[in-house]
Amino acid sequence: MPSTLSDWLAFIEQQHPQHIELGLDRVRTVAQRMGLRHPAPHVITVAGTNGKGSTVAFIEAIARAQGLRVGAYTSPHLHRYNERVRIDAVDASDATLVEGFNAVEQARDTTPLTYFEYGTLCALWLFQRAALDLVVLEVGLGGRLDAVNLVDADAAIITTVDLDHQEWLGHDIDSIGREKAGIARPFKPLILGDDDPPASVLRHAYAIGAPAWRIANDFFAEPVDAQHWRWRELGYTIELPLPMRALGAPVQLRNAACAIAALRALDLQIDDTAIVQGVANAEVAGRLQHFQRDGVEVLVDVGHNPQAARALAGWLHAQPPRRTLAVYAALADKDAAAVVTALANGVDGWHLAGSQMYGARGQSAQALAQTLAGSAAADGTCHADVASALAAAVQQAAPVGRVLVFGSFHAAAQAVQWLNEGG
């Protein structure tokens, strides 16, 4: 048996022939052997194309401001695997995760599990032993067949539905929505962050009797002024400060609104003070995370699909005009052309970075440039990796420009490391 966390992570990467294999039969079998049931009196599951991690952060911050003990399971991580499992806002220690993986392995016997399934079972085992009031689970991929969905949530959130991971979820919005709607449970509230959710989501909710709470229909997020916004539903209104700068993009009001709706749907008796404090203090790395380097503002974001790029463009357009250079590192299976199109009017120059070091899905900057032929980024400068691209972009942007780094969690992690280490 492995003895350290790094050894365990290397071990579980080798235990299944596929990195992803959707389905609940195997993980449910092991969960039953481990005695895993409901990990806390209240469970919220969060699915969606974008905004899942931010929504989890808002739920966690509000609930903790109310004095609740909260467990949160998110993925992927930015820097360390420990970030995926938090108990009372503290990342799980190496020793704690090793204990959890040991429990999974002892129960697994000969059942093959993927990397994500190992991690999900480990997190649920730790949460069940931690005497929590609330657990928030972020779906890894899709929803219906994702390992997280073995838990019957008391409330479910679908932040957005858009095109991403089509090879697994389907090639149109309706098919993808059907997969994400699988996290809903009969007669339990389903919170929807799209103004106009796919028909497949609404059909499924109706079929199982899950009451759908829709933004801009059943609850509302409305800007008030430059520092405040308003959340309201029938019979209740609260005025709130805007989230912290890293969660200050316009789309984050939707994520915060969904978080508030889910907590109210569970009737957890969250008071106004906790909502205000939680929204103001919620933090999550890699979402328009701000840095200063040589007088240049650097923004790092994990956005990697067209919908996320549209959100980034919305943020850029809401800022005072400023020359913006982009460092873009896309994995080969992403719709890079649509991402660039979404940002074309907000970016003045492009630096393309290679991602070969990120495994089979990676690609060179030159291959990315070929994919982008005919786009605004096609003539961008090519670099071996994010660090070298960022160094060049900062130098070019000085002294008054800004740099946006995005394209994947890997790209964001490399950028943050470079910025924190001083290059």
pLDDT digits (tens, 9 = 90+) for 102-140: 999 999 999 999 999 999 999 999 999 999 999 999 999
What letter represents residue 273's amino acid?
Answer: T
Pair of tokens at residue 341: 């199109």
Place of tokens 């074309």: 344
CA torsion sign for 304, 308, 309, 312 is negative
Q: At what angle do helices 251-265 and 306-318 cross, to 10 degrees?
A: 110
CA torsion sign for 285, 96, 62, 65 is negative
Rounded Cα distance, 45 and 29, in Å: 20
Q: Which helix (H) or strand (E) segment is 359 a member of?
A: none
pLDDT for 251 equals 81
CB 289 within 8 A of CB 298: no
pLDDT for 65 equals 98
Compute the C-alpha angle 161/230/240, nearest 5°: 105
Rounded Cα distance, 357 and 413, in Å: 13
Q: Which residues contact 137 (CB under 8 A, 6 or more apart)?
A: 43, 44, 45, 46, 73, 148, 151, 153
Tell me the average confidence (pLDDT) per consecutive run of 10 residues in the chain, 423 residues long: 94 75 89 96 96 96 98 95 97 98 95 94 98 97 91 97 71 89 97 95 97 96 90 96 70 93 93 96 90 92 92 88 94 92 94 90 94 92 97 93 95 94 75
Other CB atoms within a 10 A radius of the CB of residue 230 amount to 15
pLDDT for 267 equals 81
CB 350 within 8 A of CB 326: yes
CA torsion sign for 50, 123, 280, 316 is negative
pLDDT for 14 equals 85
Q: What is the pTM of this model?
A: 0.93
